[in-house]
Amino acid sequence: MSPQTKLHMQTHSAARTRAVHSSFYTLKTTLLVAGVLAAAALAGATLGKADDAPVTITDVNGNTVTLAAPSVRSAPLPPPLGTFAIAIPGDADHLVAAHPWSKAVMMQGSLSGYFPNLVDLPTGAIGGGFVPNIEELLATDPDLVFQVGFMGEDVLAPIMATGLPVLTINVTANDDAVDWIPMMGAAYGVEDRAQTILSWRQNTLASITETLADLPDEGRPTVAHLARYGDALRVVGGGHFRSWQIEAMGGVNVAAEVPQRSAEISAEQLIVWDPDVILLNAFQPELTPQMVYDNPVLQSLTAVRERQIYAFPVGGDRWEAPVAESPLGWMWLSELLHPDRFQWDYTAEITSAHQLLYGHAPEAGDIARMLRIDANQNSAGYERFSTF
């Protein structure tokens, strides 16, 4: 029987194997946590004391800006950068504007509790299609603006015309955050801290990749990530970070041949693909697996019959996206798809990550909320994520 059809049964065997493997994973986690926090302490020792000398930064598109001093009033307009702009410097004091999607997850997730001042964060500087509202942007008085660099001059030229320093990012079907993190570290004058965060990201991915190195093709469950569910269905295509994420965590994206980042599909197409596992986006916080289980049109799906539909977690940001907390999403998805190979200690991993990124530790109830225990409680094997 293949791993994708054994997920529920493996929960019981995983409980037994957890006892065998827990000492290894606990030691591994303890060492990682200790190393990360020690490095973070060193990196954070000079946080807020950055040299006021000018800093020159070149982004991935070749745009170069020189700041008289590290930024203290930044406007990260692309949604992924809103929470990165908190995690990289480790505070929210310098944030003057954000995308409405960023503000929404800050209020939905952990960050509003960690940083209460975020409730007043303006969102009017950026609108649909990433088109800036220059009047509202200037009203926030930023010393640095981040913007997307792959959508043409319409979204860049109006900001450039103001004379404000602008750094751009690209969003491709890879983990572009490995470029954003050093760039933002330089912009905020916290290069060492940014390198610590980047190392945690790279080391987590390397550990997962090593564990899956001998995984045969037939052991990879097929996965559909629904970017939208309701009157219309949208599925993540092969041009999306989330497709890369599925493949890197040992799955097969059923829509990998779709060239767009996401595409609208019919229920019939989803039935033809018949994925073993369905992932639900966290941009619709009200969306739960039970809604899909109850859909009379989708009853023939393997993921419905096997109860293998899962809502993506939300911590300080949505773990499905390229965010500062992506390594936590990789842990979750790797164990979801391969419970026979992974037994992460989520209390330790989430706590250390939030201490590193935000300087705060969540409570047990917060961790349950992040992992969407209530939303996913009727899905196969999800009780394994409740062991805290």
Separation of CA 32 from chain center: 20
**Predicted pLDDT of residue 53:** 85
Torsion-angle region of residue 198: left (phi > 0), alpha (psi -120 to 50) or beta?
Answer: alpha
Quickly list H helices, 89-152.
100-108, 111-114, 134-139
**Predicted pLDDT of residue 52:** 75
Examine domains 3-38+217-386 and 55-189 and report if their fold is the same. Answer: yes
> What superfamily would CATH give domain 55-189?
Nitrogenase molybdenum iron protein domain (3.40.50.1980)
Which residues lie across from 263 on neighbouring strands?
A: 235
Tens digit of each residue's pLDDT, the chain (388 residues): 444 444 443 433 333 333 333 333 333 443 344 444 444 443 443 344 445 789 999 999 999 999 999 999 999 999 989 999 999 999 999 999 999 999 999 999 999 999 999 999 999 999 988 999 999 999 999 999 999 998 888 999 999 999 999 999 998 899 999 999 999 999 999 999 999 999 999 999 999 999 999 999 999 999 999 999 999 999 999 999 999 999 999 999 999 999 888 999 999 999 999 999 999 999 999 999 999 999 999 999 999 999 999 999 999 999 999 999 999 999 999 999 999 999 999 999 999 999 999 999 998 899 999 999 999 999 999 999 987 6
**Predicted pLDDT of residue 388:** 61
Per-residue H/E/C for 154-189: HHHHHHHCCCCCEEEECCCCCCCHHHHHHHHHHHHC
Burial 157-191 (b: 16+ CB within 10 A, else e): eebeeeebbbbbbbbebebbbebbbbbbbbbbbbb
Which secondary structure element, helix H or strand E, spans residue 263, and what is its range? Answer: strand 262-265
**Predicted pLDDT of residue 151:** 82
CATH architecture of the domain covering 3-38+217-386: 3-Layer(aba) Sandwich (3.40)
Any idea where the domains of the chain sit in the sequence?
Answer: 3-38+217-386, 55-189
Measured from the Cβ of residue 27, the count of other Cβ atoms closer than 10 Å reads: 10
Question: What is d(CA 229, CA 110) in angstroms, rounded to the nearest whole number?
Answer: 25
Question: What is d(CA 285, CA 254) in angstroms, rounded to the nearest whole number?
Answer: 24
**Predicted pLDDT of residue 337:** 98
SS3 81: helix
Q: Is the pTM of this model over 0.85?
A: yes
Quickly list H helices, 259-299.
267-273, 289-293
